[in-house]
Amino acid sequence: MNVLILNGSPRRNGIVGSLLKEAEQSACGHVVERIDLYDCQIVSCSGCMACRTSGRCSLPEDDGHRLAERIATADLLVIGTPTYWGNMSAKLKCLFDRTVPVFMGENRMGIPQPRRKGCRAIVVTTCTTPWPFNILFRQSSGAAKRVKEVLRTAGYRMRSLQVGGTKPMHGQAPEQAIRKMRRLVKKSLKKETNNG
Ligand SMILES: Cc1cc2nc3c(=O)[nH]c(=O)nc-3n(C[C@H](O)[C@H](O)[C@H](O)COP(=O)(O)O)c2cc1C
């Protein structure tokens, strides 16, 4: 299986980063690639809509194009983002804006048509707001919802992991979250292998 891990946090070794490292290790034996989005050059979408007909972004070549190709060939996507203002990080949103045709087409009425049906995804979100307020006040759950909206439109089947109360953690994800991450990766890869 091709596993693509996308880190939407600028902190490579933060909570998101450490959980993604765990995902990487749990997927050992598969083809795994991790990309830290904040190391990538991704120019903002210009809104030209040309990709809706051509299937490719018309902006000058940058990492947005390279990432689109990687996403298109991944069987399992593991996407992590910190919660920024109740949403995903700007860099992850920028990537999603630049890769629309990988995720969806449109019919004549402009209704989205999923392009990644059968693929799987794990969504990881973190925030400083502690449990249960991270859920009740749509903090980590708000960020997860926004990421899932993109992936649901694309047809992915998803699992998610949310970690609230990260302020006292100093970059070290709690053991419980690490164990859950391992379980999610194993489960997602097992299904893929069974279906394949
Ligand atoms: C610009 C910015 C906005 C943030 N917005 C929120 C927020 O809306 N809610 C929240 O609970 N935490 C917020 N945080 C805190 C981060 O979500 C939190 O520190 C997260 O655990 C960082 O993950 P990382 O260690 O993987 O980078 C914000 C942090 C930054 C830098």
Residue 192 has pLDDT above 80, yes or no: no
Element (H, E) at 96: helix 90-98
Element (H, E) at 23: helix 15-26
pLDDT at residue 174 in the model: 97
CB 153 within 8 A of CB 103: yes
Query: Residue 188 sits in a domain of what CATH number?
Result: 3.40.50.360
CB 28 within 8 A of CB 58: no
**What range does the domain containing 123 cover?**
2-195
Domain count for the chain, please give it. Answer: 1
Mean pLDDT value across residues 125-142: 98
pLDDT at residue 23 in the model: 98
Closest ligand 1 atom to residue 134 Cα is 11
Instruction: For the chain, give the percent of residues with pLDDT over 90.
Output: 95
pLDDT at residue 176 in the model: 97
pLDDT digits (tens, 9 = 90+) for 90-109: 999 999 999 999 999 999 99
pLDDT digits (tens, 9 = 90+) for 16-73: 999 999 999 999 999 999 999 999 999 999 999 999 999 999 999 999 999 999 999 9
CA–CA separation, 21 vs 30, rounded Å? 15
Closest ligand 1 atom to residue 167 Cα is 19
The b-or-e profile of 38-48 (16+ CB within 10 A means b, else e) is bebebeebeee
Q: Is the pTM of the predicted complex or chain greater than 0.75?
A: yes
pLDDT at residue 195 in the model: 52
177: CA distance to ligand 1 center in Å? 17
128: CA distance to ligand 1 center in Å? 6
- Enumerate residues lining ligand 1, CB below 6 A: 9, 11, 14-17, 82-86, 126-129, 139, 166
pLDDT at residue 191 in the model: 58
pLDDT digits (tens, 9 = 90+) for 109-118: 999 999 999 9
Collapsing DSSP to helix, strand or coil, 184 comes out as helix
CB 24 within 8 A of CB 181: no
Regarding beta strands 157-163 and 120-126, do their DSSP bridges make them parallel or antiparallel, or are they unpaired? parallel
CA–CA separation, 151 vs 119, rounded Å? 10
CA–CA separation, 115 vs 22, rounded Å? 28
